[in-house]
């Protein structure tokens, strides 16, 4: 089971080219699609979810040409957009029953078992009779996954699912995703590097509508082992560092200096110390090199 996208391009009427001959193959498991805002992530996700057509290109999923036969894909698809609405004054249990009917599950017994199962898998059983409109942000996202799982999809797409969640809600949501990612293709589209680091065994980085890196996170990190350096510098020294080195990131330290991280294949001297690479370093380095 795999997903193939070949030479996908999409431009909008305002002149923005969201996708530029994008090609990629995605297999079973959790797959992270990383990229800054405006990189083309959401356009790509909407095309995969058959909500939008590309100007050119092809997408197949397990032999299905999803652009020519979107209905066959929808029978196997679960899609959680970045934001979604819920009916007011409806409980999670009643809404899931309603959605299950819309997905063609007509047997009341089968529907009840399925609804109970997805509530359990998303840790919402205890609040199944609470109005979904009263849920916290994290609970609503878990409810979103619950409705996605109703038709036992083989392809699951989640678009920026943890944006705006507090740390505890984010952890609960990521734990739910972990439980559904082992037997399905789950594509996690995000600009939050930590989500990919914690969940995904494979990933790609998208920029200006193109895939500029496609490699497992651990392999990507290993490739830059020994080439990441850090140093605390004053504001006056910062400009010189930016001019001389490939600066990846900077943050304020306790003494109000900037803790800078740079990429260099040679010891840069001047007080720099070697640092273990992170996926954030991979991400910033890839974007910097892409320009």
Last residue of a domain, one of 151, 178, 198: 151
* Residue 130 sits in the same domain as residue 36: no
Chain mean pLDDT for the chain? 89
Q: Are 150 and 96 in contact (CB under 8 A)?
A: yes
Residues 6+ apart with CB under 8 A from 262: 228, 229, 230, 231, 241, 245, 246, 247, 248, 268, 272
Helix (H, G, I), strand (E, B) or coil at 12: coil
Q: Which domain holds residue 111?
A: 85-151
Q: Is 254 exposed, middle or buried (0-12, 13-18, 19+ CB in 10 A)?
A: exposed
Instruction: Kindly give the pairing relationship between strand 2-11 and strand 56-61.
Output: antiparallel
Provide, for the chain, the percentages of residues in helix, strand and coil under a 3-state DSSP scheme, each rounded to the nearest 5: 35, 30, 35
Instruction: Please report whether residue 287 resides in a domain.
Output: no
Q: What's the confidence (pLDDT) of residue 282?
A: 97
> Which CATH number fits the domain that encloses residue 191?
3.40.50.300
* Residue 52 sits in the same domain as residue 94: no
Whether pLDDT at 84 is above 80: no
DSSP type of residue 289:
H
Q: Are 159 and 166 in contact (CB under 8 A)?
A: no
pLDDT tens digits, 32-61: 999 998 899 989 999 999 999 999 999 999
pLDDT > 90: what percent of the chain? 51
Q: Are 244 and 269 in contact (CB under 8 A)?
A: no
Last residue of a domain, one of 181, 215, 249: 215
| Integer Cα distance of 61 and 213 in angstroms | 22
Whether pLDDT at 83 is above 80: no
| Integer Cα distance of 19 and 55 in angstroms | 9
Residues 6+ apart with CB under 8 A from 178: 30, 199
What is the Cβ-side half-sphere exposure of residue 36, based on CA atoms within 13 angstroms? 10
pLDDT > 70: what percent of the chain? 100
Q: What's the confidence (pLDDT) of residue 8?
A: 97
* Residue 71 sits in the same domain as residue 174: yes
* Residue 40 sits in the same domain as residue 174: yes
Q: Which of these, 178, 114, 168, lies nearest to 146 by C-alpha position?
A: 114
| Integer Cα distance of 214 and 43 in angstroms | 18
User: How many domains, in total, are found in the chain?
Assistant: 3
Cα-atom radius of gyration of the chain, to the nearest Å?
A: 22
pLDDT tens digits, 189-237: 988 898 898 889 999 999 999 999 999 999 999 999 999 999 998 888 8
């Amino acid at each position: 089971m795999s997903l193939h996208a070949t030479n996908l391009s999409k431009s909008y009427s305002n002149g923005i080219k969201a996708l530029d001959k994008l090609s990629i193959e995605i297999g079973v498991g959790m797959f992270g699609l990383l990229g800054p805002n405006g990189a083309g992530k959401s356009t790509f996700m909407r095309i995969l979810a058959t909500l939008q057509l590309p100007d050119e290109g092809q997408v197949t999923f397990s032999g299905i040409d999803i652009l020519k036969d979107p209905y066959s894909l929808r029978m196997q698809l679960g899609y959680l957009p970045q934001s979604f609405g819920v009916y007011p004054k409806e409980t999670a249990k009643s809404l899931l029953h309603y959605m299950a009917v819309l997905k063609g599950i007509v047997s009341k017994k089968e529907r009840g078992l399925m609804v109970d199962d997805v509530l359990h898998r998303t840790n919402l059983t205890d609040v199944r009779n609470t109005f979904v409109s009263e849920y916290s942000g994290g609970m609503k996202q878990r409810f979103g996954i619950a409705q996605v799982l109703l038709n036992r999809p083989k392809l699951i797409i989640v678009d920026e699912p943890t944006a705006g969640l507090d740390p505890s809600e984010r952890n609960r949501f990521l734990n739910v995703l972990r439980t559904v990612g082992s037997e399905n293709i789950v594509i996690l589209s995000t600009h939050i590097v930590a989500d990919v680091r914690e969940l995904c065994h494979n990933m790609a980085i998208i920029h200006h509508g193109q895939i500029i890196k496609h490699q497992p996170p651990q392999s990507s990190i290993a490739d830059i082992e020994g080439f990441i350096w850090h140093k605390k510098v004053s504001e006056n020294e910062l400009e010189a560092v930016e001019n001389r080195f490939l600066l990846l990131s900077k943050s304020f330290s306790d003494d109000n200096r900037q803790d800078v991280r740079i990429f260099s294949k040679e010891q840069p001297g001047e007080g720099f110390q070697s640092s273990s690479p992170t996926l954030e370093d991979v991400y910033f380095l890839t974007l910097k090199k892409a320009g």
